[in-house]
Amino acid sequence: MNPKKSSTQLILELTQAFARLPILDERHEYLDRYIGFLAQQMSGVVHLPFPNNFIKKPAVVNVELQRLLSKTTDLEHYLTQIHQSTILAIPGKSARSDLRSACQKMIATIHDALESLHDNNDGQQPNTGGRPAKFRALDLAKSLAGNYRQLTAKPPTIQVDSILEGHPASSDFLRLVTDVFGILEVEGSPEHFAKRAIEEFHKQKEKTPP
């Protein structure tokens, strides 16, 4: 968690930021859980570099991703076979309805990760400390993009004014990213990472089964 703010303070500020969005009535329970996740977990994660043993060589990552893909695919298939009464036993209507969809998105994401791996085994140099790695900011922006869609039923977008000097960008999603980056004190340009997150969102959408 961000050491400068309490979890309660973060939840309050994040709730105010999300209150500016056109949240669907049936997604407020989901929103409460997501805000809790941002305040209690992501607020600390975004300020940490990956541990030395996290970033592995592509050959190692490939094996682990393949295993993860296999297990996630098995779970997605299993969800089509179990009785409806079992699904209904899971608390929270939104949690139940999101189970298979989450698996399908995870499968598409793992496929993307496998395709992005280098064919060689050179690997990446581990981050040993210092400033938080930029992929933390991108991970947060991507999380906000996906959940923006879940909460509003609208895709994350950014509009650029081609007439005004400087061509300023604006949108509900960009404002959300800007607000959350500010609340969690994330380094990096909100606009830059919002645009990258939108690109990733559309790439994943193209690969995700309907």
DSSP single-letter state for residue 161: -
Q: Annotate 152-178 with b (16+ C-beta within 10 A) or e (fewer).
A: beeebebeeeeeeeeeeeebbbbebbb
Q: Across the chain, where does the E strand assignment appear?
A: 159-160, 169-170
The pLDDT of 161-165, averaged and rounded, is: 72
Nearest of 9, 115, 14 to residue 62 by alpha carbon: 115
Q: Give the mean model confidence (pLDDT) for residues 21-36.
A: 94
Query: Do 50 and 8 form a contact (C-beta atoms < 8 A)?
Result: no
pLDDT, tens digit, 9 for 90 and up, residues 93-123? 555 557 778 888 888 888 877 777 654 344 4
More confident residue, 4 or 169: 169
